[in-house]
Amino acid sequence: MPVKTIYEPFRIKSVEPIRGTTRAERESMLREAHYNLFLLKADDVLIDLLTDSGTGAMSTHQWAGIMEGDESYAGSRSFQNFKSSIQDIFGFKHVMPTHQGRAAERILFQTMCKAGDIVPNNTHFDTTRANVEFTGAEALDLQIPEGKIPDNRYPFKGNMDVAALEALIQKVGKEKIPLAMLTVTNNSGGGQPVSMENTRAVSTICRKHGIPFYIDACRFAENAYFIKLREAGYADKTPKEIAQEMFSLADGCTMSAKKDGMANIGGFLCTNDDRLAQRESDLLILTEGYPTYGGLAGRDLEAVAIGVQEALDIDYLKYRISSTAYLGNKISEHGVPIVQPPGGHAIYIDAKAFLPHVPVEQFPGVALAAELYLEGGIRAVEIGSLMFAAAAKMELVRLAIPRRVYTQSHIDYVVEVILDVWERREQIKGLKLTYEAPFLRHFTAKLEPV
């Protein structure tokens, strides 16, 4: 029998209550938070879709691993478990634990980049960009043109424009490019996957010119599953085999284990380069910790060692990707404009098309996110003009789905709330800023209705 219902491939052993609130309560809490959902208390949120990072639920195996954590300062058994699990999938020679993804980025770029260099990526995530720029290098996004059009349904919108990469190398010379990166899946570009063909093409160009090629691996398992579903020749391969092939094309990776590591904290940096590894490990000791724990507790290493393997489980990935697509397809069937096709970890609503009467200067994304909270206690995040100011390419509202946390009925509730807001979209008003910090203003900005 072909099964149509999406079911969670797990049962629930421990529950965490979430609290409903009245509309009047939410009105006053929203005012107190100055219409910025970052300033809400998490207890006042019913369904929290702010991020899929560090917000997942761990399995019974992970919790058991936590009890087995070896907290020795040096040479712990948990590090051996961590290293062998990561090498089994990622295949790199050196594995350095870090407290989260951006710590791996900082160490990588401080070791490899200098002022005047250029680092190409399909799309840099904001911490990745900031860490490249902090060294004085330029972070250059070379996403394919299809990836920038919200309703374009190209299956691998995360791909890099390889002709643009080749042209860049010809123009500035390989000496100015200390490394090239691919972010899988492409978070800032809508959670869209990168194909194996594109990964191979980028790898081939980099190898031809002797440029190291790294992968920002945060959502590697979701990317592997999209390759299985959409790319010719991969239907019969397991997500693990696909991930292994993907990483065999690279020289190293950075990873936030708060995503497809299925852990609440953690990350790592990998490389095949012995000399680089030595310098990176020296920096690791300076700020993260001894190389066999790198800013994590032994128990965290165990949680990640088990989590990266669980993220590749076929039943889990099927549920994960279908559940996100279900949310995207349900709202888009009713006309809600979203980035198509639905991504792996999140649905991105096109707030500019949702609220065409709210000008960009009045932050349509923030206004829509505030309305979703008011209507149903849902917390999403604006990725648009408040976050990126003049550099914003789109006005999006991201609904990021924590891993293994919410059930299908929670997703149905989210659909219901979004469709209610869609029905009365014409009444939604824009916002104006009353306070902004000099940088990363979206975290602390204060706003009020115009």
Indicate whether 147 belongs to the interface with ligand F0G (CB under 6 A): no
Cβ 398 to ligand F0G shortest distance, Å: 8
Indicate whether 83 belongs to the interface with ligand F0G (CB under 6 A): no
Q: How far apart are CA 123 and CA 394, in angstroms?
A: 14
Q: How far apart are CA 222 and CA 330, in angstroms?
A: 21
Specify the stretch interacting with ligand F0G by CB under 6 A; choose among 59-67, 79-87, 120-128, 328-336. 120-128
C-alpha distances out from residue 188 to 122, 155, 277, 318, Å: 10, 16, 29, 23
Specify the stretch interacting with ligand F0G by CB under 6 A; choose among 10-18, 95-103, 190-198, 316-324. 95-103
Altogether, the residues listed in the chain come to a count of 450
Query: CB of 35 within 8 A of CB of 449?
Result: yes
Cβ 293 to ligand F0G shortest distance, Å: 17
Cβ 259 to ligand F0G shortest distance, Å: 7
Q: What are phi and psi of 126, to 5 degrees?
A: -60, -40
Specify the stretch interacting with ligand F0G by CB under 6 A; choose among 56-64, 121-129, 370-378, 438-446. 121-129
Sign of the CA dihedral running 178, 184, 188, 189:
positive
CA atoms within a 13 Å half-sphere pointing along the CA-CB vector of 111: 22
- The residue among 266 and 377 lying less far from ligand F0G, judged by its C-beta, is 266
Q: How many residues bind ligand F0G (CB under 6 A)?
A: 15
Closest by Cα among 341, 304, 338 to 325: 341
Q: Which of 35, 79, 82, 125 binds ligand F0G (CB under 6 A)?
A: 125
Q: Which of 26, 102, 320, 379 binds ligand F0G (CB under 6 A)?
A: 102
User: What secondary structure letter does DSSP report for 43?
Assistant: G
Q: Are strands 346-350 and 118-121 parallel, antiparallel or unpaired?
A: unpaired
Q: How far apart are CA 110 and CA 214, in angstroms?
A: 15
Q: Classify residue 145 as exposed, middle or buried by CB count within 10 Å of its CB (0-12, 13-18, 19+).
A: exposed
Indicate whether 122 belongs to the interface with ligand F0G (CB under 6 A): no
- The residue among 131 and 362 lying less far from ligand F0G, judged by its C-beta, is 131
Indicate whether 267 belongs to the interface with ligand F0G (CB under 6 A): yes
Q: Which of 21, 87, 110, 127 binds ligand F0G (CB under 6 A)?
A: 127
- The residue among 256 and 362 lying less far from ligand F0G, judged by its C-beta, is 256
Query: Using CB under 6 A as the criterion, which residues of the chain lie in contact with ligand F0G when the complex forms?
Result: 51, 53, 100-102, 125, 127-128, 183, 187, 216, 218, 256, 258, 267
